[in-house]
Structure 1
């Protein structure tokens, strides 16, 4: 398990981009390195980041991991798989008129919705696109599987943001399509029974759980960070 302290800003500024030398950014690089070793060892490229409940720090974690992978020189793609309450467009400050929904509905080709970010030329995003009436059905379609198969051929790391596991089945569905899953939990918020339920849901689809990131911890001092390994 890896920890991120509670001094991470609640706004949508990405700390690893605006202050890469901060102790918090170092925490994210530590998590990235651990995940990177596991992905390399298992030959993985696609990773899903989810949580057992809302507001656990899932989207913050995936954004900062994306930046740290890009800073490492890897070609990174972030896909907003939350077709209910998307955030990737706001986090990376890009438009969201077209995106994942349009690809899955065969309205646009993948290359037509890829957006480079201002943060790094190595970091590309696919936003959610218009919110559809049937998110679970779209995400569970063969088109979604084909999309992931295609983009893992072009990018070194593909990170997929999803709704919380407790809310809808979307994350459970998508976890069976990717090669690894990381669960984000929040100190003093995530309940043990909720986390156990989330793990059970992932186990039902034989998801490859790489580990847990604990978000919102209290550091011993302003320069410390915690690393327990993603297991």
Structure 2
């Protein structure tokens, strides 16, 4: 037989809910204090002073630390980002290139464009079971590589384990843009000289983002890409990561992207206003057609 809930029971349930909420809030603040100390933003002594101030006057840990002059608003934002798995870096505390604008907490039209592109790829490609795609162009510049890197950062910020692969074994500067040392990489992996885990680099403090450089400069990049080791390497990457983004040389007379598309069947083609030639775009599309790679779209860049 059912009965209505009494006033005392309702109050007990409300008190319990309030207690749980307070506990979660306290745990979050304790975690913030730990992260601020771990990241070198505050010392243990400063954290003790903040906690003592809280006990005497109340207030949130971050607000108290800010009021006491122990941290900056950027410090607080970075720690909040880590708590919610949305990582970024301070412009004056990193060697990452300003061209990788997704790495910084500086909202802009460019960031919104990259996020929109990320959403389109998510819906049209990743949600259909795919994990890898390549980004290329036809004009011989490095803008597609920067777009690929910004996309990789954006995917990592959405909570996906992301690997950016530099497949430009001719003239890449991606390791410099990311502030990662140049060493062994994709060329060495394809040649069987190393294992994947030994040549993948983290990109601190960007959580969930990893980078595989182009590796040792070689004279035969197309021949390396055409080896039987490429498909197995891609499969290994797809076991370890949610999203893998490859960059390639962007000159129209190079067939590197076409060879790579035999193992990475999704491509994003970047074209430039008043620069890209229609004939070069047609050649690129025809090459992808021969490998049955799907061109997810053409990204139109201002000149």
Partner SS state of residue 239, structure 2? coil
* Conservation of the 8 A alpha-carbon contact between 2:180 and 2:203: yes
State the 1:28 CA deviation. 0.5
For residues 32-89 of structure 1, the C-alpha deviation after alignment (integer angstroms, 9 at most, x for no partner) is 1011111234211000001122126211110110111011010000111011112221
Q: Which residue of 2 aligns with 1:158?
A: 244
- Displacement after TM superposition at 1:216 (Å): 1.8
- The aligned residue for residue 101 of structure 2 is 15
Kindly report which structure 2 residues correspond to 1:63-74, keeping only aligned pairs within 5 A, or say none.
63-74=149-160
1:91 corresponding residue in structure 2: 177
- Structure 2 residue runs of 5 or longer lacking an equivalent are 1-96
1:82 aligns with 2:168: yes
Contact map agreement 2:186 2:215 (CA 8 A) in 1 = yes
Check conservation: 2:103, 2:206, Cα contact below 8 A. Answer: no
The answer for the alignment partner of 1:222 in structure 2 is: none
Give the Cα separation in 2 of the matches to 1:167 and 1:118: 36
| 1:204 CA displacement | 1.5
Whole-Å separation in 1 of the counterparts to 2:186 and 2:140: 21
Native 8 Å contact 2:273 2:300 kept in 1: yes
Number of the residue aligned with 2:269: 183
Find runs of 4+ consecutive structure 1 residues off by over 4 angstroms.
none
CA contact (8 A) 1:186 1:215 kept: yes
Partner of 1:57: 143
Secondary structure of 1:37's partner? helix
- Show the counterpart of 1:135: 221
Q: Which runs of 5+ in 1 are unaligned?
A: 1-10, 218-231
Trace 1:9-48 onto structure 2 (pairs within 5 A).
13-48=99-134
CA contact (8 A) 2:265 2:292 kept: no
Query: In the alignment, does 2:188 pair up with 1:105?
Result: no
Structure number having the greater helix percentage: 2
Q: Shift of the alpha carbon at 1:124?
A: 0.2
How many angstroms does 1:179 deviate by? Answer: 3.0
* Separation in structure 1 between the aligned mates of residue 129 and residue 258 of structure 2, nearest angstrom: 22
Q: Is the 8 A contact 1:56 1:185 kept in 2?
A: no
**TM-score, normalised relative to structure 1:** 0.85
CA contact (8 A) 1:52 1:190 kept: yes
Q: Does the 8 Å CA contact 1:53/1:167 hold for their aligned counterparts? A: no
Structure 1 residue corresponding to 2:287, chosen from 195, 201, 213: 201
1:183-207 CA-partner distances (Å, limit 9, x unpaired)? 0111111122211121111112111
- Taking only aligned residues, the RMSD between alpha carbons, in angstroms, comes to 1.5
- Partner secondary structure for residue 185 of structure 1: strand
Structure with max Cα Rg:
2
Give the secondary structure class of the aligned counterpart of 2:134. strand
Larger relative contact order (Cα-Cα within 8 Å, sequence gap ≥ 6):
1
Q: Is the 8 A contact 2:157 2:207 kept in 1?
A: no
**Alpha-carbon separation, structure 2, partners of 1:123 and 1:129:** 18
Task: Say yes or no: does 1:116 pair with 2:202.
Answer: yes
- The normalised TM-score by structure 2 is 0.65
